[in-house]
Amino acid sequence: MKIAIGSDHAGLNVKDKIVSFLRKYGYLVIDCGTDEPKSCDYPDFAKKVSELVRDKKCEMGVLICGSGQGMAISANKIKGIRAALCWNKKSTLLSRLHNNANIFCSGARLLT
């Protein structure tokens, strides 16, 4: 499975950990940035990931920002995207099973 992932500066460390985890388990990961802790605009990365999922170049997407909310709102503006703000295993599972979410969004500043 090919997964697109992106974050803003607030989500950079979490994004990098997720990329390593996914690659360890054999997933092909397309890292859409950011690659530096310098302040940046989250909608730019939400758009990159969402377009890859929309265009079927990736099966799923992951977006991380400070709260996750901005990424989810931005991604859901793209036709065909069902981005879900997830904060635990149950919310993630239900978003996928009941809403057919194709992008997982989460907040680096809100999760341990």
How many Å apart are CA 48 and CA 59, to the nearest integer?
A: 14
Instruction: Name the catalytic one among 56, 79, 89, 98.
Output: 98
Q: What is the DSSP string of the chain?
A: -EEEEEE-GGGHHHHHHHHHHHHHTT-EEEE----SSS---HHHHHHHHHHHHHTTSSSEEEEEESSSHHHHHHHTTSTT--EEE--SHHHHHHHHHHH---EEEEETTT--
Q: Does the annotation mark 9 as catalytic?
A: no
Active site residue ranges: 98
